[in-house]
Amino acid sequence: MRVLVVEDDASVADGILDGLAQATVDALHVSTGQGGLDALSTYQPDLVLLDLGLPDMDGTEVCRRIRAVSQTPIIVVSARDDEIDRVVALEMGADDYVVKPFGMRELVARIRAVARRTGPTVAEPAAARTFGALVVDTRSQKVTLAGEPVHLTAKEFELLVYLSADPGAVFRRSEILHDVWDTNWYGTTKTLDAHIAAIRKKLGDPGWIESVRGVGFRFGEPGAQ
Ligand code: CA
């Protein structure tokens, strides 16, 4: 998970970055609103922590501009404990509002809560999902096929959970690499292919994960489409 921190106060930013590092959350810090808007496409954060008082533009304006192009969750972090600001921020599309000073544990808990609420890629799926003879249980981290356990590696399991979250939907390679491997590095595409091949082999039928030429992959029960 990647968090973009838009904060002009260096000491506040340092505290947040330390806290996120301890919670093993990747973060990028920028100190202006424009920097935040730029980083939205270059860094592709899963969540934005946004200060309201920025040197170049008001945080609510940054919020509005982010919402115009993206659904990335936003938590407003502000020194202004003002109900008006809170309402404006939420109306501009922010998902939550935290008032300075705050504890890092609280902030990390809020980040995880917002991520769970908003993002299918970081959400914890409810329980076991059944696709014909295949059962993918995210709670027990087990996969069975016709009642027999299928032994997947952690990454293979993660990839299967990811693809099977939306059966029939085509997932782009870049999307999968970003969400499952947390990278945009093109070289990883070979790793992706190797994992897909391994899952197909273990499931005994390549039809579970269909290749969509030039685009990516689609999960589905073989022969059910
Ligand atoms: Ca500020």
Cα dist from 202 to 27, 71, 98, whole Å:
36, 36, 46
Q: How far is the CA of 8 from the centre of ligand 1 (A)?
A: 5
Q: How far is the CA of 68 from the centre of ligand 1 (A)?
A: 23
Q: How far is the CA of 75 from the centre of ligand 1 (A)?
A: 14
pLDDT at 43 over 90: yes
Average pLDDT of the chain to the nearest whole number: 87
Q: How far is the CA of 118 from the centre of ligand 1 (A)?
A: 26
pLDDT at res. 186: 57
Q: How far is the CA of 180 from the centre of ligand 1 (A)?
A: 33
pLDDT at res. 209: 96
Q: Where are the domains of the chain?
A: 2-118, 128-219
pLDDT at res. 13: 94
Q: How far is the CA of 55 from the centre of ligand 1 (A)?
A: 7
Determine the Cα–Cα distance for residues 112 and 128; give it in Å rounded to an integer: 22
Q: How far is the CA of 100 from the centre of ligand 1 (A)?
A: 10
pLDDT at 141 over 90: no
Is the domain spanning 2-118 CATH 3.40.47.10? The answer is no
Q: What is the mean pLDDT of residues 137-159?
A: 90
- Chain segment 150-191, per-residue pLDDT in tens: 999 988 999 999 999 888 888 888 888 878 887 666 556 788
177: which 2 tokens?
């690499």
Determine the Cα–Cα distance for residues 6 and 3; give it in Å rounded to an integer: 10
Q: How far is the CA of 2 from the centre of ligand 1 (A)?
A: 21
Q: How far is the CA of 80 from the centre of ligand 1 (A)?
A: 10
Q: In what order do the strands lie in the sheet with 134-137?
A: 128-131, 134-137, 142-145, 148-150
Least confident of 4-8, 101-105, 118-122: 118-122
pLDDT at res. 4: 97
pLDDT at 225 over 60: no
Q: How far is the CA of 6 from the centre of ligand 1 (A)?
A: 9
Q: How far is the CA of 163 from the centre of ligand 1 (A)?
A: 40
Q: How far is the CA of 70 from the centre of ligand 1 (A)?
A: 23
The fold for domain 128-219 equals Arc Repressor Mutant, subunit A (1.10.10)
Q: What is the mean pLDDT of residues 68-87?
A: 84
Q: How far is the CA of 54 from the centre of ligand 1 (A)?
A: 5
User: Which alpha helices (DSSP H) does the chain contain, by range?
Assistant: 10-22, 33-42, 59-69, 83-91, 104-118, 154-164, 173-180, 189-203
Report the candidate in 118, 78, 112, 79 with the shortest Cα–Cα distance to residue 95: 118
